Amino acid sequence: MKRFFGVFVAFVVLFSSLGITRARAADACPSPETILDKLFKQPGNNRFTILQQVSLDGDLCAAVAKQTGTFQPRLFIYTKDGRYAFFGTVVQTADMKPWGQDLVAKYSKLEPGVVANLESLAIHVGTSKTRVIMITDPLCPFCKQIVQALKPFVAKNQIGLDIIFEAMHKGSHRVASHLLCAKHTDFITDYLDAPKLLDAGSAKALTTCSLGTTILGEMGGALQTVGVTSTPTFVLERNNEVITGVVPVQALLSKASGKPLVMPAAPSRGASANRPAQTVGKALDTGK
C-alpha cells in the first residue's frame, strides 16, 4: 500500500480531552509552513500566513492561519510526524465543546479604519448603541432567516444592524439596488419581502437609481479589499471581531453586547409592531 500524505478539509474531528486540553509552546512540532508547503506543493508558498503556533498534548500540533485575500483565520491541525493535516473543528469529547475557538477569535478582527469605512457605506437600521455590521446577500436564504430572528431585537432597541450588501446570487444586484434606492417605512420587512419582487409579475416594482448603483459598487469594492467570500458575515462593532456563517442569534447578540440578552416578548394580537428607524451611508433617502 502506498504511503501518502493525508489531507482532510473541513471535517469535525473528535479527540479525547486528555490529549488536547492544554496547549503549550510549539517546541516539539514541525513548522506549519513546512506542512503547508507539502500540502500545496508550493515551496515558500504565500497562500497562508501563520498567526500563532501551539503544540497540543499527544501527537497533534496546531496553528492559526490566515489565507491570502481573506480576513477570516482558520484552525490548522497536523500530526507531529507531518503525515496528516486538516482544516476544521476539533471537539473535546469530555464536554463536546470546540477547541481552539478562542485562538481563532483572537485574530478574527478588522482594523478600526476598515470598520469605519464599512459603517460609512451601510444602511443603518435601528438606533441601539449595540451594533453589528451584517454583510448579506438579499437572496441568501440563511441571511433571511437570521434577519427574521433579529427583527424583534431591533424593534425593542436591543440591537442595531448596519447592512452591507454583497450580491452573490443571480438577481441579487437588482434586489440590493432596489433596497438602496426605495423609500422604506420598515426596512427589515422590505428586506424580507424583496426577493418576491424578482417574480415576473413584480419585476417592474424594483426601483433603481444611480446613487444606489454607486453605493452598491463601493460596498463590493470595500468587501473585496477586506476579503469577504461568503454571507452572512458579521462584524461586532464593540470590538471589531468578525464572525462568518450561520450562528445562533442569542450567541451573536450576547457577543455583540458583551452580556446575555433576553428574547423580547411577542407583540399582543392587534398591537402595532415597533418600526426601527433606518438611515444609510452617503445620505441616501430611505424614508426614515
* pLDDT tens over the chain, length 288 residues: 433 333 334 444 444 433 443 444 445 788 888 888 777 765 555 578 888 888 776 788 888 888 776 777 888 888 888 888 888 777 878 888 778 777 777 778 888 898 999 999 999 999 999 999 999 999 999 999 999 999 999 999 999 999 999 999 888 998 999 999 988 889 999 999 988 887 766 767 787 888 888 999 999 999 988 888 889 999 999 999 888 888 889 899 999 988 765 555 555 544 444 555 566 554 344 443
| 251-259 long-range Cβ contacts below 8 angstroms, 24+ apart | 252/132, 252/146, 253/130, 253/150, 253/153, 253/158, 253/159, 256/130, 256/131, 256/132, 256/159, 257/130, 257/158, 257/159
The predicted pLDDT at position 229 comes to 80
Secondary structure of residue 22 in the 3-state scheme: coil
Q: pLDDT value at position 2? A: 37
